[in-house]
Homo-oligomer: A and B are copies of this chain.
């Protein structure tokens, strides 16, 4: 991770120096442009300024490249979610709102990562690293759910795992139906962020989590 030279200064000399990274970046670029299907091994090589045979030094095939993109995606996703959640500070509700916005923000800002992670049909079993990275990202949601559940009265408290899955499904549902940058995005009378926030709040109220942290309103 200590590349003294700028990754960007192209293939100087015979050896590229950082072709693997360049190919991953090329894939991201191409996926973002034309969807997860619209990118080829040869095109990635061309984009990186390298012969079509060169990628085989780093990836067995297209799928392995794709799985690597997904892996990176989950790693960045985890960082983004964890930063947004920030240990639930200053309170769980505020942090949860940030988390939701971070989720949608990631899907919108990194459509290539998002589709490689969730839509390209790459099985999580493709590699242990991939599975692990996926688990780690989900762990943020799980911790969130645990914090929320801890605020509920012990009787009738639902399993935190289920709550985490619900949060995930709601966020993914909104992101994938309305939060994408591509042409297939549905139009909405409100922003995806507002829609998800409302959905989450109503859900929390249903759980019995207090949703009015400061001003007593009733």
Q: Which residues of A are in contact with B by a Cβ distance under 8 Å?
A: 35-37, 118-125, 158, 161-162, 165-166, 168-174, 176-178, 182-184, 186, 188-190, 195-196, 198-199, 201-207
Shortest distance between the CB of A52 and any CB in chain B (Å): 21
Docked CA distance A176–B207 (Å): 24
Secondary structure of the A side of the interface?
helix
Partner of A198, one of B158, B177, B195, B201: B158
Q: Quick one: closest B residue to A201, CB to CB?
A: B206
Q: Is B189 a contact of A161 with CB atoms below 8 Å?
A: yes
Interface CB pairs A-B, < 8 A, 13: A35-B121, A123-B184, A158-B198, A169-B170, A169-B195, A169-B199, A170-B170, A170-B173, A172-B173, A172-B176, A202-B206, A204-B206, A205-B206
Q: Is B158 a contact of A169 with CB atoms below 8 Å?
A: no
Give every chain B residue within 8 A of A190 (Cβ-Cβ).
162
7 A-B pairs with the lowest CB-CB distances in the bound complex, closest first:
A173-B173, A206-B206, A37-B37, A169-B173, A205-B206, A202-B206, A123-B183
Task: Say how many copies of this protein the assembly contains.
Answer: 2
Give every chain B residue within 8 A of A124 (Cβ-Cβ).
184, 186
Question: Given A122-B184, A166-B202, A199-B203, 9 more contacts at CB 8 Å?
Answer: A123-B184, A162-B198, A166-B199, A169-B178, A170-B199, A172-B173, A205-B205, A205-B206, A206-B206
Q: Quick one: closest B residue to A172, CB to CB?
A: B173
Q: Quick one: closest B residue to A70, CB to CB?
A: B184
Docked CA distance A204–B206 (Å): 7
Give every chain B residue within 8 A of A207 (Cβ-Cβ).
202, 206
Docked CA distance A155–B207 (Å): 21
Q: Quick one: closest B residue to A123, CB to CB?
A: B183
Q: Is A173 a contact of B168 with CB atoms below 8 Å?
A: yes
Q: Quick one: closest B residue to A204, CB to CB?
A: B206
Give every chain B residue within 8 A of A171 (Cβ-Cβ).
173
Q: Quick one: closest B residue to A168, CB to CB?
A: B177
